[in-house]
Structure 1
Amino acid sequence: MNANQLMRRVLLVTLVGVLLYGLFAVYTGMSEIGASLATFHVSALVAALGLACFNYLLRFGKWQYYLAQLGIRGIPVFDSLLVFLSGFVLTITPGKVGEVFKSAVLAKTHGVPVERTATIVIADRLTDVIGIVLLILLGGATFPAGLPWAVAGVTAVAVGLFFILWQPPARWFCDWLEGRGGRLVSVVPKVRHALDSLRVLARPSALPIPTALSFVGWGAEGMALWLLLGGFNEPVPLPLAVIVYASATLAGALIPVPGGLGVVESLLRQGLIGWGNVALGAATASMILVRLCTLWWAVVVGFIALFLLRLRFPRAFADAPAADAARAGMG
């Protein structure tokens, strides 16, 4: 896959998103959404974007923490920030696994082997799920509707940690790959190295700091939804807005669709209407705006970071690194 193919894939998912939001708007009624937007306070949108960027910075802190845990040091902070943000280009892949793109970019710009850092994406997703589950549980006594998703998240984390930390399954998998013969044999050492790195990142003593960063970061994006609702003069309790957002985000992470498209939007809208008694037009408009601030703004930031990296490391990108990065991120 070359850079043009990568761009086409991102644009395709973007068009799907535009179509989806258009369908939501038509179903809700353009007049109702228009009436809600007419009274919207733009300052709420600016604040929501600021909270989304705050979450990005906290997630960058997780990236730096994971690099340090793996013994990868000496990368200038600004370079590391650009590499991290470049992963947002593929944040619209299922479960955001395409963010492994940044590992390929780091390999191109600073020579760090992809297999050393690719597992950061898995550890990042695990601690994201734990942080989001904690947000749901924190408000579960008051708004218990999100608890089923919390149970699903706890189950997914428990299963994931079991297979990561217990070595026999990983050993069996590597032995199975070797037994297949052919090209797979040459991949086995990299797989073993990646699994070793993942165990370092997922060990119990390494979980609290990134989990705390996830808790605060995703809570900030839940607050962004709360501010947007306030901008539509639809005040709801902050814990309710956070739980609605956290539950929808968790569902989007657990269900393998690009960027959680359709899943997150539907649950956000249903939660705001059913749990928060938000007017239909305001609920739909808030859903669209919070996704623009959190998902689609991240994609834009990713492309800006990738553009700056190309300017900063022109020789590293001369041999179409997007192809390597895309293969690493999307298989």
Structure 2
Amino acid sequence: MADSIPPLPATALAAPRRSWRDRALFWGLIALFIFGLAGLISATGWEAVWDELRKLSVAQIAILLALSLINYLIRGARWHLLSRRLGVNLPLRYSVLHFIAGFAMTITPARVGEFVRLRWITRMTGWKFERVTPLPLADRAFDLAAMGLVLGVAILLSGQGSFSAAPVSAIAIAAAVLVTRPTLLAKLVEAIYSVIRRWPRPFVRLRQAARSMGRFSTLSASIPALVLSTIGWLAEGYALYLLLYWMGSDISYATATVIFLFSTLAGGLTGAPGGLGGAEAAMMVLLSMNGVPIHVALAATTVIRITSLWFAIAVGALAFPFAEAFSHKSKTI
């Protein structure tokens, strides 16, 4: 593998097109999600689940959505901080717009559709794609680090020291450390390529991106990014805690945070777009293990996934055309 390999043409760097296969995957996953929930509700009892859903007022739903929106905005601010660290000098409003609009592509394989954020940056700055590829890697790294740290502390506070989320927390932190260490990450990329021996150009770009990760590992960059990430995920944990409280379940804030973060990470480990299936299953199991009745667990899981994952996709879809339009207007750098 050599750095002398010519770059891919610009057309190959474009975001994935909305082909019929993309649309089929999107609607297929939605149908699978609805079908699975319908089956669980049918097995549990429609009336019991519906009674739990009716306990929620419009104001309470609005609070849950507001907490999710706080998470998105704070993480958007982190995206801006990291992009400035990389040298991208876009105003904060564009960084936040790009970050939120990228949620429209959450349900794509491995969430690769979210790389559309880089397309908007390259349009507005005139930069080459390679210069901004470290940005999503750093963004995911600080998400993993914050989730791992919060999960570890929440496990201790919740009194569930033997809970199996502890290894997941350690893995998340270890992965974040690896991604922000350029030498280790570059060696990992080279090791993977030495086994696969295919697609040399993408691996060259990955290695180049890995070598650029060092600028995110300094304290001046990592501490603010971790603080913003932590606040964002604590807001989501608080949303689940409030939801369970409104439904009459006696679950502590620490335990609710453990359940939300572990379920999110578990869903991501399945490889399914948006963690569909895995996150819901993990959340229901953990809620049941903590004494939440199955019909309450099902209702809470349904609501929290709608107000987090599906709300993010909806907000991203609304913001997407604005990000596209503004990226075509003019270069700001």
**TM tier, smaller:** 0.7 to 0.9
Residue 53 (str. 1) matches residue 69 (str. 2): yes
TM-score for the superposition, normalised by structure 1: 0.82
What's the CA shift for 1:173?
4.7
Matches of 1:173 and 1:270, distance apart in 2: 36
User: 2:287 is matched with which residue?
Assistant: 272
User: 2:53 is matched with which residue?
Assistant: 37
- Give CA deviations for 1:23-64 in whole Å, capped at 9, x if unaligned: 222232212111212333332211010000000011011101
1:242 is aligned, of 232, 257, 279, to 257
The AA in structure 1 aligned to 2:265 is L
For residues 311 and 254 of structure 1, do their structure 2 counterparts lie closer, same or farther at Cα, with a shift above 3 Å needed?
A: same
What's the CA shift for 1:254?
2.9
For residues 140 and 64 of structure 1, do their structure 2 counterparts lie closer, same or farther at Cα, with a shift above 3 Å needed?
A: same
Matches of 1:176 and 1:230, distance apart in 2: 46
Residue 218 (str. 1) matches residue 214 (str. 2): no
User: 1:108 is matched with which residue?
Assistant: 123
Q: Secondary structure at the match of 1:92?
A: coil
What's the CA shift for 1:303?
0.9
Q: Secondary structure at the match of 1:140?
A: helix
| Structure 1 alignment gaps of length 5 or more | 317-331
Residue 198 (str. 1) matches residue 213 (str. 2): yes
Residue 152 (str. 1) matches residue 168 (str. 2): yes
1:285 is aligned, of 299, 303, 317, to 299
- Give CA deviations for 1:71-93 in whole Å, capped at 9, x if unaligned: 111x2332222211121012234
Residue 128 (str. 1) matches residue 149 (str. 2): no
- Give CA deviations for 1:120-162 in whole Å, capped at 9, x if unaligned: 2222222222212222222323331674323233235425634
1:78 is aligned, of 80, 83, 93, to 93
1:286-325, aligned counterparts within 5 Å?
Answer: 286-313=300-327
Displacement over 6 Å in runs of 4+ = 175-178, 180-183
The AA in structure 2 aligned to 1:77 is L
Contact between 1:55 and 1:221, CA under 8 Å: does it hold in 2? yes
| Structure 2 alignment gaps of length 5 or more | 1-15
TM-score for the superposition, normalised by structure 2: 0.82
Deviates more, 1:145-154 or 1:226-235: 145-154
Matches of 1:238 and 1:187, distance apart in 2: 43
For residues 260 and 145 of structure 1, do their structure 2 counterparts lie closer, same or farther at Cα, with a shift above 3 Å needed?
A: farther
Among the aligned pairs, what percent are the same residue? 25
Matches of 1:164 and 1:152, distance apart in 2: 19
For residues 273 and 117 of structure 1, do their structure 2 counterparts lie closer, same or farther at Cα, with a shift above 3 Å needed?
A: same
Contact between 2:185 and 2:210, CA under 8 Å: does it hold in 1? no
Across the aligned residues of Structure 1 and Structure 2, the Cα RMSD in angstroms comes to 3.1
Higher RCO by CA contacts (8 Å cutoff, separation 6 or greater): 1
For residues 13 and 116 of structure 1, do their structure 2 counterparts lie closer, same or farther at Cα, with a shift above 3 Å needed?
A: farther
Matches of 1:225 and 1:158, distance apart in 2: 26
